Amino acid sequence: MLFFKKNIHILFVLILFISIKVWAQTPPVLSATGNQPYCPLDSINIVTSFSIIPGDEQIDAVFIQISENYKESDILILENLASHPNVSSSWNAQEGKLTLESVTSSSSSYYDLVSAVYDVVFYSNAANPSNDKKFSINVGEANYLPSTQH
């Protein structure tokens, strides 16, 4: 009986350790800057600097959304497509969201995605776009909600 009790304690500790490791994964850290003036009917890069410090999970996609003051005349475009052969892009006009997705399954896919974010531009075909635009950049598919800042 003593042997069984010792093994139960070891088993419990092992299960606890595995649970903590699974639940305590390190998320990626994204950093971006790019507050700059926009000239009407022109395009402008949305970031002047951008980085991802990867966490425990592989990053296969980046989602960029016009999270404040989005109008249907606004669009985000990945320019220089030939420079990003490992990245596909798709624009969702209903959500004002551009998806950049890695077409490879390599662990270096986030380098390709970081490079692609630098080539994302904002464009509006409105002659006088109103209000400042704010962008959110996520590695998860959740949309940014300005009211909660999440």
pLDDT in tens, 79-92: 998 999 999 999 99
98: Cβ contacts below 8 Å, ≥ 6 apart = 63, 64, 65, 76, 77, 78, 89, 90, 91, 92, 120
For residue 5, the model assigns a pLDDT of 47
* CA 88/CA 98 separation, integer angstroms: 10
pLDDT in tens, 32-80: 888 888 888 889 999 999 998 887 777 889 999 998 899 989 999 999 9
pTM of the shown model: 0.77
Residue 67 bridge partners (DSSP):
none
Please compute, for residue 6, the number of CA atoms within 13 A of its CA located in the half-sphere on the CB side. Answer: 3
Distances (CA, A) of 60 to 10, 75, 81, 113: 37, 22, 18, 8
